[in-house]
Amino acid sequence: MIDWAHFTPWTSLAGGILIGASAAMFLLLNGRIAGISGILGGLLRPKAGDAGWRVAFVLGLVASPLVYQLVVPLPSVQIDAGTALLVVAGLLVGVGTRYGSGCTSGHGVCGLSRLSPRSMVATAAFMCAGFLTVFIVRHWMY
Amino acid sequence: MQLLMSLLTGLIFGLGLIVSGMTDPSKVTGFLDLAGAWDPSLALVMGGAIGVGLIAFRLARTRARAILGGPMHLPEARQIDRRLVLGGLTFGVGWGLAGFCPGPALASLATGGSKPLIFTLAMLLGMAIFEIQNRLSQSPPKEIAC
């Protein structure tokens, strides 16, 4: 059953195109994959001359809501998870994305665009785990 | 120039996340909740991004170097192994629990209050645990896909 009240086809498609454009720019101009977990995680493995572009990308990403706010108010968000759940989720996301070499951006957007079989498998794995986790939390535990 | 483009790319990526609604974890879990009131928005975000990405990666295949002159850093790993699948599954569980993945968490840090900060710190700790574990194990660190 589709949640028509929350479904935002046009803005989500437009935002997706922006994300794709960003990944395209990064690939064609800088020769890099816009994978957030890899860019961030690479900072924890310092190599000479490798940190600058990572820091610049992360700064741009972190600054994005501040720039957005200059034009229009930020959309309201709802974070249901409490502190303990956020810590557990963060740890799992941190370990999992590094162990699996990527997240929604690196495997999901860039890898699928590259038609990489590895990224297809990784994306299927995190999507299925995400579906199953939400199913268990929302429909079994409550 | 490459640094400036990195900054700009990060900025556009973040703006895309905000416009698409993906900085709202309840919208992400709304997509992952197939059995409840399902919000398909995330599928359109992926569709839009991959639509543009397919063209970009096709163009990139013919290039020996990036436009700004640097080498093309494309992932070389090909093997589908336990590490890839278990890593993906682990990430997916964390993603489903809080509705955050790395990009939206970073794009919420500056304005989102304490919750994105707590998640991001835990995520960095998780990444650090991986680094330590990786260094302790005998195999040399592999070049990562993304």
Q: Could you report the per-residue pLDDT of A23-45, keeping only the tens digit for each?
A: 999 999 999 999 999 999 999 98
Q: Do B11 and A6 touch (CB under 8 A)?
A: no
Neighbours of A99 (CB within 10 A): 24
Question: Which chain A residues are Cβ-neighbours of B41 within 8 angstroms?
Answer: 6-9, 12
Please state, in angstroms and as integers, the Cα–Cα distance from residue B133 to each residue in A9, A95, B127, following that order. Answer: 42, 10, 10
Residue B48 has pLDDT above 90, yes or no: yes
Chain A: give the shortest CA distance to residue B138, in Å: 15
Average pLDDT, chain B: 93
Whether the pLDDT of residue B129 is over 70: the answer is: yes
A93 → closest Cβ in B52, B60, B102: B102
pLDDT digits over A67-100, tens only?
Answer: 999 999 999 999 999 999 999 999 999 999 999 9
Beta carbons of A13 and B47 less than 8 Å apart: yes
Rounded to the nearest angstrom, the gap between the alpha carbon of residue B31 and the centroid of all alpha carbons in its chain is 17
| A14: its two tokens | 């437009």
**Residue labelled with tokens 């741009």:** A60
* A50 contact B CB<8A: no
Report chain A residues whose CB lies below 8 A from the CB of B37. Answer: 1-3, 5-6
A56 and chain B in contact, CB less than 8 A:
yes
Q: Tell me, what's the pLDDT at B140?
A: 56
Domain boundaries defined on chain B: 2-136
Q: What confidence score (pLDDT) does residue B143 get?
A: 58
